[in-house]
């Protein structure tokens, strides 16, 4: 029996309780949420020296007719490398070369080009003579034109660096297409910052629509970004730096994401993260580097410039539009301050030699200027009291299904006067997880019931990681899986959506009684009351991490006619604990809704084995 004590008015569940953690890992952003189709758009991926790598650009044609070379010739200070292109040869009587020469880009494992959709292609270029370029999306094998446009200029208009645009409407589809820029005219042209993006983006703010919509339907209370280890870097010089990630995209130097092994052109910068947070109505949680990487540490005595950097970053996010950094934000299209109220001082750095020292310097400097800012420590306060002051502390757990489910009571005994908990990374990993199994999802739901039950001290929690591009499964498992054109949620993703009404409701005591024998310790339950909807309702969550069982849900303390005549039941389960979703069966394991009649205040139900169940009891 699950007894819900409706005599209690309940305590507020923080609006932020369940959120998301976005990390630039598994090509989550580059080649994912950021819909930039071109890989290495500034020819900078090899670093800012020449010769620089032009990978994955490929020549169309060959020497001696074609010459491609990187040079320090860019118009952009932050991005010095440009591509010099020469189409050599005399041309026929019309001045045409016998073969089109140029170069192409396959994007990130192929570009998704869909018939009827429009794509903005932009590039910077200058030329020694007139220009006659064909800009085309081609099929993967290069044999079919999916859509094309042209850039034609007289020599006098092309002699200095200018940005050119073409909007291409595709007439055919290939999910693994490529971009090709060619000419039949003997030419010497410098190219830089070549970008191709779908015209349609999430809320017009430049995110891939299907992926951002999946975030939206999680109704996250917050979004933690941009990492994770991504924030630290293996080497400090490769860590994400906000200053290099803002302003016009063409001038962002980009950096090597050396933890997860790929180049980021920083199209997703601090502005874009804050804008995304606003667009999905989630509180932004910015994790910043506190002078520590995986292999090096800045001594506390020398941390001053890093502190200044972060204070400037806060001004960028929330300073007035006429402040030094706030004005850049305004120029980028957001004069109003962003609502940044949470910041994490580093990621998984606790125990490193200079962590506590650096932490305190950041803490004091930020609090002095922004006393309301909630600051998050990396040190685990469930082990021992923290050395330094903190509003929240960060708790990470990746473990087996049984171990995570058992941690449902992890915070029951946590000191209520200590800093609040931010369980910012949790997931079942290893064999139990497959590439996103039902088993893992049910275990995580059990853990989340524990988080909800302790939401007087738990302010925030997020599953990790959020996204994986199926071509770069560096970290497994992940909540949302995608390729160039498709995406689906794992069962863990769907569990997240089942908890999305929790934040902002009232936590009502719920007691599990009389579970015995083989079923002991396999059922956990929690109850909340939603008062933020037209029709108020009690929501009971029951997670069954074992065999089938009959459960009576008792809403004690209500008058006989207090509840409506029907309960909505949402269940996530499957034929096997190893069931997973996939591109071919994206909805094999998803929550299924049904309605059952209710007479009185007790509901007798059968819980399927390994299931997550949500019961909504509307008030009459
Ligand atoms: O979520 C994947 C990684 O796990 C994060 O980058 C890091 O914080 C943790 O170790």
* Helix, strand, coil % over all residues of the chain, rounded to 5: 20, 35, 45
pLDDT band at residue 212 using 50, 70 and 90 as cut-offs? very high
- Span from the CA of 229 to the centroid of ligand 1 (angstroms): 6
Give me the sheet containing 487-489, strands edge to edge: 467-469, 480-482, 487-489
Same domain (yes/no): 64, 9: no
Find the 417 Cα to ligand 1 centroid distance in Å.
28
Asked which of 474, 498, 522 is the last residue of a domain, the reply is: 498
Answer yes or no: is pLDDT of 519 > 70. no
Q: Which residues line ligand 1 (CB under 6 A)?
A: 23, 25, 227-229, 347-348, 396, 425, 464-465, 475
Bridge-partner residues for 523, per DSSP?
544
Test site for ligand 1: of 20, 227, 287, most ligand atoms within 8 A of the Cβ: 227
Cis bond before residue 9 (omega within 30° of 0): no
Question: Is residue 442 located within the same domain as residue 397?
Answer: yes
Q: Which atom of ligand 1 is nearest to the CA of 259?
A: 6
Q: What is the pLDDT of residue 84?
A: 97
Evaluate whether residue 445 is within a structural domain: yes
26: three-class secondary structure by DSSP: coil
Q: Check the CA dihedral 253-256-260-262 and report its sign.
A: positive
Residues 97 and 182 placed together within one structural domain of the fold? yes
Q: Are 246 and 271 in contact (CB under 8 A)?
A: yes
CA-nearest of 162, 168, 171 to 181 is: 168
Of 514 and 434, the structure prediction assigns the larger pLDDT to 434
Minimal-distance CA residue to ligand 1 atom 7:
228
250: its two tokens: 């063409």
Token couple for 617: 């009891």
- State the average pLDDT for the chain: 96
Burial of 180 (0-12, 13-18, 19+ CB in 10 A): buried
- Residues 346, 458: one domain? yes
Q: How far apart are CA 472 and CA 486, in angstroms?
A: 15
Q: What is the CA radius of gyration of the chain?
A: 27
- For residues 514 and 413, membership in a common domain is answered with no
Give me ligand 1 centre to Cα 348, in Å: 8
Residues 181 and 219 grouped into a single domain = no
Q: What is the pLDDT of residues 404-443, one digit of tens each?
A: 999 999 999 999 999 999 999 999 999 999 999 999 999 9
The least confident of 90-104, 422-436, 441-455, 507-521 is 507-521
Q: What is the pLDDT of residue 516?
A: 67
Quick check: is 239 in a domain?
no
Angstrom distance (rounded) from CA 243 to CA 241: 6
CATH number at residue 168: 2.60.120.260
| Co-location of 170 and 276 in the same domain | no
pLDDT tens-digit map of 341-390: 999 999 999 999 999 999 999 999 999 999 999 999 999 999 889 999 99
- Within a domain: 538: yes
442 shares its domain with 561: no
Domain boundaries, position 98: 58-198
Q: Sheet of 592-597: strands edge to edge?
A: 11-12, 506-508, 523-530, 537-544, 611-618, 566-572, 592-597
pLDDT, one tens digit per residue, over 26-75 is: 999 999 999 999 999 999 997 777 778 899 999 999 999 999 999 999 99
CATH number reported for the structural domain that contains residue 458 in this entry? 3.20.20.80
CA distance 513 to 277: 41
Residues 392, 408 within the same domain: yes
| Residue at 583 is within a domain | yes
Tell whether 352 and 218 lie within a shared domain. yes
| Cα 46 to Cα 37: distance, rounded to the nearest angstrom | 19
Residue 101 lies in a domain: yes
Report the predicted TM-score, pTM, of the whole model to 2 decimal places. 0.97
Same-domain check for residues 221 and 194? no
pLDDT score, position 49: 74
Expressed in angstroms and rounded, the spacing between residue 609 Cα and the centre of ligand 1 is 31
Q: Compute the distance from residue 562 Cα to the ligand 1 centre, in Å.
A: 46
Residue of the CA atom closest to atom 2 of ligand 1: 465
Picking from 198, 214, 236, the residue at the C-terminal end of a domain is: 198
Site to probe by mutation for ligand 1, drawn from 464, 465, 468, 476 as the one with most ligand atoms within 8 Å of Cβ, is: 464
Is 97:65 a contact under the CB 8 Å cutoff? yes
Q: Which numbered atom of ligand 1 lies nearest the CA of 347? A: 8
Q: Percent of the chain at pLDDT above 70? A: 99
Q: What is the pLDDT of residue 46?
A: 77
For residue 522, what is the domain's CATH number? 2.60.40.1180
| Helix (H/G/I), strand (E/B), else coil: 251 | helix
Q: Do 456 and 543 sit in the same domain of this protein?
A: no
Q: pLDDT tens-digit profile of 282-324?
A: 999 999 999 999 999 999 999 999 999 999 999 999 999 999 9
Pocket test for ligand 1, best of 21, 224, 347 (most atoms within 8 A of CB): 347
218-236: average pLDDT: 98
Query: What residues have CB less than 8 Å from 170, skipping those under 6 apart?
Result: 113, 114, 115, 116, 117, 118, 119, 137, 146, 147
Contact status, residue 550 vs residue 523, Cβ threshold 8 Å: no
How far does the centroid of ligand 1 lie from the alpha carbon of residue 228, in Å?
5
Helix (H), strand (E) at residue 310 = helix 304-318
Residue nearest to atom 8 of ligand 1 (CA): 228
| Predicted pLDDT at 336 | 98
The minimum-distance atom of ligand 1 relative to the CA of 425 is 1
**High-pLDDT (> 90) share of the chain, %:** 94
For the residues 447-463, what does the mean pLDDT come to? 98
> Residue 192 falls within a domain, yes or no?
yes
Residue 209 lies in a domain: yes
Residue 264 in domain:
no
- Domain termination residue (choose one: 452, 470, 498): 498
- Probe residue for ligand 1, chosen from 24, 229, 478 as the CB with the greatest number of ligand atoms within 8 Å: 229
Structural domain count, the chain: 3
- Average the pLDDT over each of 161-170, 173-182, 454-463, 553-562 and give the range with the smallest value: 553-562
């Amino acid at each position: 029996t699950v007894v819900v004590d409706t005599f209690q008015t309940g305590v507020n569940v923080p609006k932020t309780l369940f959120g998301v953690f976005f990390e630039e890992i598994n090509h989550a952003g580059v080649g994912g949420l950021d819909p930039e189709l071109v890989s290495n758009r500034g020819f900078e991926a090899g670093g800012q020296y020449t010769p620089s790598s032009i990978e994955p650009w490929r020549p169309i044609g060959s020497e001696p007719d074609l010459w491609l070379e990187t040079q320090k010739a860019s118009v952009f200070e932050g991005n010095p490398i440009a591509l010099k292109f020469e189409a050599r040869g005399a041309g026929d009587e019309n001045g045409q070369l016998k073969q089109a020469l140029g170069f192409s880009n396959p994007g990130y494992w192929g570009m998704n080009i869909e018939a009827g959709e429009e794509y903005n292609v932009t590039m910077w270029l200058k030329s020694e003579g007139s220009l006659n370029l064909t800009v085309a999306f081609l099929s993967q094998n290069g044999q079919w034109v999916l859509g094309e446009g042209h850039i034609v200029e007289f020599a006098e208009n092309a002699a200095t660096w200018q940005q050119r645009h073409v909007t291409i409407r595709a007439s055919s589809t290939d999910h693994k297409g490529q971009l090709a820029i060619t000419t039949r005219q003997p030419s010497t042209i410098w190219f830089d910052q070549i970008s191709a993006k779908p015209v349609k983006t999430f809320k017009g703010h430049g995110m891939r629509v299907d992926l951002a919509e999946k975030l939206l339907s999680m109704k996250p209370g917050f979004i933690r970004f941009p990492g994770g280890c991504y924030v630290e870097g293996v080497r400090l010089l490769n860590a994400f730096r906000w200053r290099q990630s803002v302003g016009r995209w063409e001038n962002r130097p980009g950096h090597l994401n050396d933890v997860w092994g790929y180049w980021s052109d920083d199209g997703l910068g601090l502005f874009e993260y804050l804008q995304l947070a606003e667009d999905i109505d989630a509180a932004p949680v910015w994790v910043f580097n506190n002078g520590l990487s995986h292999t090096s540490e800045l001594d506390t005595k020398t941390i001053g410039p890093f502190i200044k950097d972060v204070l400037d970053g806060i001004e960028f996010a929330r300073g007035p539009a006429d402040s030094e950094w706030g004005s850049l934000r305004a120029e980028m299209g957001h004069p109003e301050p962003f609502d940044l109220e949470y910041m994490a001082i580093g990621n998984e750095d606790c125990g490193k030699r200079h962590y506590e020292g650096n932490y305190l310097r950041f803490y004091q400097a930020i609090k002095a200027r922004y006393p309301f800012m909630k600051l998050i420590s990396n040190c685990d306060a469930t082990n021992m009291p923290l050395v330094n002051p903190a509003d929240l502390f960060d708790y990470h757990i990746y473990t087996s299904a049984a171990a995570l489910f058992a941690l449902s009571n992890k915070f029951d005994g946590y000191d209520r006067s200590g800093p609040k908990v931010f369980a910012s990374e949790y997931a079942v990993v290893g064999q139990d997880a497959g590439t996103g199994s039902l088993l893992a999802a049910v275990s995580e739901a059990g853990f989340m019931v524990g988080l909800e039950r302790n939401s007087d001290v738990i302010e925030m929690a997020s599953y990790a990681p959020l996204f994986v591009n199926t071509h770069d499964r560096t970290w497994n498992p992940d909540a949302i899986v995608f390729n160039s054109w498709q995406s689906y949620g794992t069962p863990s993703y769907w569990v997240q959506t089942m908890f999305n009404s929790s934040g902002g409701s009232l936590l009502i005591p719920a007691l599990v009684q009389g579970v015995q024998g083989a079923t002991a310790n396999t059922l956990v339950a929690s109850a909340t009351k939603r008062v933020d909807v037209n029709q108020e309702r009690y929501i009971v969550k029951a997670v069954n991490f074992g065999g089938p069982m009959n459960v009576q849900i008792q809403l004690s303390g209500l008058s006989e006619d207090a509840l409506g005549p029907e309960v909505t039941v949402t269940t996530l389960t499957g034929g096997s604990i190893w069931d997973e979703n996939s591109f071919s069966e994206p909805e094999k394991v998803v929550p299924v809704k049904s309605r059952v009649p209710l007479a009185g205040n007790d509901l007798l139900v059968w819980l399927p084995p390994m299931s997550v169940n949500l019961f909504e009891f509307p008030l009459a």
